[in-house]
Every structure is written in C-alpha cells, then in structure tokens.
Amino acid sequence: MTVDYQPMWQELGLDLQAHDGLLQGLGAAYQDIFLSRKNRPRGMAYLDFVMSEVHGLRIKELLDAKKAGRKVIGAFCVFVPEEIVLAADAILVGLCTGADFAMEEVEKILPRNTCSLIKSAFGFKLSKVCPFLEAADMVVGENTCDGKKKSYEQLRELIPNLYVMDLPQQKTEDGRHLLLQEYRRFLRAIEKLSGVEITVDRLRRGIELTNNKRRVLQRLSRLRTANPVPISGLDALLINQVSFYDDPQRFTESINKLCDELEERIQQKIGVFPADTPKILLSGCPMAVPNWKIPSLIERSGAVVVGEESCVGERGWRNLTAAAGNTVDELLEAIVERYFQVDCAVFTPNSDRERHVAEMCREYQADGVIHYSLQFCQPYIIESMPMERRLNDQGGNFLRIETDYSMEDVGQLQTRIEAFIEIIS
Ligand code: BJ8
C-alpha cells in the first residue's frame, strides 16, 4: 500500500511542486545508478528501502518522535558530536547538501564562487524541499572553512534556530581547550532544548551507540579489501551516506547483517567486479546524498572504489570515543580527544591526513588515488597539491579532480578517469 505523505510534507511547509520535482529526479538517478546494477548484495535491499522512504517513513518517524517529546538536531559537519545528542535522547540527522537547487536564488545571497556544498544547503532551504531541515528543532553550523563560517551569517536569516559552534583551526593545547569549551556549551544547549539532564550513564550510552555505528562501518571497510571486492564503491558510499539519516541502532544491526553476507561472498569468491579489477581510493571533500557523480564515473570506467578518505567515509568513523571517565566532564574530554583526531583540511598544519591517505592506499591495496575537490574549496584543493607530489614521489598514481554538482563536465571527467584507469591497469 502506498502511503500519501503529501499532508505531512504540507504541514512541514515544503513547496510540494518543487519537492515532487526533487523526488522524481532523485528516483530516476537512483534507478540508473544503483537499481540497474547487477550482482548487488541482497542486504542492499535494506538501503534501497531506506532511500525510497528517505523523505517518507523516516520523516514520519522523526515527527512521531517529536510528538513523543524528543528533539531533532540537523548538522552539516562530522564535528557535531552525536554522542551528546543521543545522550539527551535526541536525534541527529545530516542535512542535504549534495545537489544543486534554486541556484539563481542562492547566487543572489552567496557569491558564485562558493563551493557547491554550501550553496546546496542554501538551495534546499530557499526552495523548501528538505523535510529534515524543516523538521529540525535545532540546526548546527560550525566554523570550519571560511565559506561555511561566513555563509552562516546569511543562513541565520533563513534559519532562526541555527546554532553555530566554533571550532579550532590548530591542534594545539589552546585548540583542544576551545573544543572542550564548545562541546560543553553544546551539551548545555542540548540539555536546555531537550529538557533532559545529561548524566554520566546517558553520555556513556550515547558514546556506545555512536561507537557501534562506527564499528560496523569499520567492519564493512575491512571486507572491501578482499579480491574480488564483494561490494561496489557506490553501494559502500550509499551505506556511509545513509548512516547520517537512519536510526543508529537499526542501521548498525542492518549493516552487520549485510557484512555477514559479504563474508559469505568472500568465502565463495563472489565479487561485484571480476578479480583484479583496478582499485581506486577516493580522497577529498565529503559526498552527501545524492552526490554520486565521481564514483559512478569511476565504476563505469572499469575500476572499483575500495575506500573513501572523506567525512562521508573513513575520516568520519576511523576513531572511536573512549567511554572512560566517571564524570560528565571526563567523558567530554574523551569525546574531545576523539574528535581532535579528525583530519579535516580546515586544520593547519594537517599532516595526519596525508599519512592516512598513504596508509589507506596500502591497506586497501589501491592502484591509484583520485582526489576529489569541490570547486572553490581552498582547504582541500590546496592540500591535494603537495599530496599529489609526495604520492607520485613514492611511486603512487594520483589524479586530481575539481568539480561541482552540475553534470556539464561529465564527458571531460569520464575521459580523464578512463585515461587514469588505463595507466594503472
Ligand atoms: S570535518 S570536511 S564535514 S568541514 S567542500 S564547505 S571545506 S569549501 S565540508 Fe566538511 Fe566538517 Fe571538514 Fe568534514 Fe568548506 Fe570545502 Fe565547501 Fe567543505
């Protein structure tokens, strides 16, 4: 039975016509990029279901939770600690930033040379097509790159419940202190919003749930080192993307089951691509739903993506939070310790990231790295240049790509990617 979600979307204040257009576009892309592929693991049916209901059942769940008194928090960055949100029995959702929408309107507010990810956040808000954004009781922005930091000044006018978190730029003792202060302030804001006092036990539970989600993503990534690879890079990216929307416990259970299936596939030597297909490590800016352009081009060109050095990927779940501590403040310090290891390019210096890319290449036995930056993203574009030099010096293969969310450069990118795959094959 098909459920009519129109009244729910109307109540949220969505522009129904524009929203229908978005869902149609998303459905067609999903059919073409995911559903038309052969030999996907059976467990991907769960992800297909989640995606088919991403603006339907999941939003209904959030609204039901709100009616029961829980709060929904929207975020744009992996620095927003889910541990604290879950400790207050609130729900954290990642906000849509993976597609162009209402660009003409957006460019009346932001300069054209702003990265697509930031413009996308504004486009979804201006055109009222994101039910997650409209359902959120608090939207958290963070002072990371200059583009985000400055654009939040404008976003505040569109989103009155925007909360901006300050983040350090350097991993010094002062930086650590700043992060601790900001996480303390965030904890108080979440307590105030939810009316829930965050106790030691609650915070431990938040840490455990978040760590379990990270552990299952770590398990998935280890399985991708097999030859033949049991799951495509596109499906693995989708799993990472869905981890930002789905209920954490349900997600963890479903992906663990999928990993059981992948283990069977490995034993039976069933791959999505033939053995010895060239392996690519993707590195760079995060890819939010429905940004599937580059992995789709890579996998259509005869290679497989085996890992993502990205916030929607290993950078987002590489580190666990130690649940060590007998007071809320001690646990907060453990949370700071964990997030302080995230090697986003907004930090200076940020040598850990280059080391991690090299390590990931070895672990996943990647034949080459494709570095993906969004146009106008200075932090990632600048980091990609010395990274390319050093990886080349070590005999590695490296391709730097700068792109946006439009499809205008697809032909040109395809040619470059195919040429690169030919070199590494
Ligand atoms: S921790 S990567 S999620 S900030 S692409 S908006 S950097 S100009 S997204 Fe990010 Fe948090 Fe860092 Fe991760 Fe700016 Fe670049 Fe745009 Fe970017």
- What is the CB neighbour count within 10 angstroms for residue 154? 11
Atom of ligand 1 at shortest range from CA of 374? 5
Output the pLDDT for position 96: 78
By alpha-carbon position, which residue is closest to atom 8 of ligand 1? 377
For residue 142, the CA-to-ligand 1 centroid distance in Å is 10
CA of 285 from ligand 1 middle (Å) equals 6
- The whole-number average pLDDT for the span 19-30 is 96
In angstroms, what is the span from residue 5 Cα to ligand 1's centroid? 33
Closest ligand 1 atom, residue 380 Cα: 15
* pLDDT tens-digit readout, 371-412: 999 999 999 999 999 999 999 999 999 999 999 999 999 999
Mutate-to-test residue for ligand 1 from 110, 182, 285, 317, highest number of ligand atoms within 8 A of CB: 285
pLDDT in tens, 138-172: 999 999 999 999 999 999 999 999 999 999 999 99
Residues 14/129, Cβ–Cβ less than 8 Å: yes
* 263 CA to centre of own chain: 25
- Rounded to the nearest whole angstrom, what is the distance from the C-alpha of residue 85 to the centroid of ligand 1? 21
Question: What whole-number distance in Å separates Cα of residue 207 and Cα of residue 119?
Answer: 32
Three-state DSSP at 280 gives strand
The overall longest dimension of the chain from CA atoms, in Å, is: 59
Q: Rounded mean pLDDT of the chain?
A: 97
* Of 110, 145, 151, best ligand 1 pocket probe by most atoms within 8 Å of the beta carbon: 145
Radius of gyration of the chain (CA): 21
The H or E element spanning position 328 is helix 328-339
Which ligand 1 atom sits nearest the alpha carbon of residue 346?
12
Does the C-beta of 79 come closer than 6 Å to ligand 1? yes
Full DSSP string of 188-223: HHHHHHHT----HHHHHHHHHHHHHHHHHHHHHHHH
User: In which element (H, E) is residue 257 found?
Assistant: helix 248-267
- The pLDDT value given to residue 142: 97
Return the axis-axis angle of helices 293-300 and 233-242, rounded to nearest 10°. 160
Q: Is the pLDDT of residue 286 over 90?
A: yes
Closest listed residue to residue 323, CA positions, set 201, 226, 410: 201
Q: What percent of the chain has pLDDT over 90?
A: 98
Pocket test for ligand 1, best of 100, 289, 380, 402 (most atoms within 8 A of CB): 380
CA 226, distance to chain mean position in Å, is 24
At 2, the pLDDT band (50, 70, 90 cuts) reads: confident
Closest residue by CA, ligand 1 atom 3: 77
Measuring from atom 10 of ligand 1, which residue has the nearest CA? 77
**pLDDT tens-digit series, residues 141-150:** 999 999 999 9
Q: pTM above 0.95?
A: yes
Nearest residue by C-alpha to atom 13 in ligand 1: 311
Which tokens sit at 153? 């000044």
Q: Report how far ligand 1's centroid is from the alpha carbon of 23 (Å).
A: 26
Q: Is the CB of 44 under 6 A from ligand 1?
A: no
Structure confidence by residue, pLDDT tens digits, 83-109 = 999 999 999 999 979 999 999 999 999
Indicate if ligand 1 lies below 6 Å from the C-beta of 398: no
Q: Kindly tell me if the per-residue pLDDT of 419 is higher than 80.
A: yes
- The alpha carbon of 48 and the centre of ligand 1 are apart by a number of angstroms equal to 27
Please choose, from the candidates 310, 380, 390, 315, the residue with its C-alpha nearest in 3D space to the C-alpha of residue 346: 380
Burial of 31-54, coded b for 16+ CB within 10 Å and e otherwise, reads eebbeeeeebbebbebbeebbeeb
Which ligand 1 atom is at minimum distance from the Cα of 342? Answer: 1
- Residues forming beta bridges with residue 402, ordered by sequence position: 373
Rounded-to-integer distance, Cα 403 and Cα 410, Å = 9
Phi, psi of 373 (to 5 degrees): -120, 145
CA of 43 to the centre of ligand 1 (A): 31
pLDDT tens-digit readout, 299-355: 999 999 999 999 999 999 999 999 889 999 999 999 999 999 999 999 999 999 999
- Find the 379 Cα to ligand 1 centroid distance in Å: 8
Is pLDDT at 1 greater than 80 in this prediction? no
pLDDT recorded at residue 295: 98
Residues 231-280: pLDDT tens digits? 999 999 999 999 999 999 999 999 999 999 999 999 999 999 999 999 99
**CA proximity to 207, closest of 84, 102, 50:** 84
Instruction: Decide whether any atom of ligand 1 lies within 6 Å of the 379 Cβ.
Output: yes
pLDDT confidence of 182, banded at 50, 70, 90?
very high
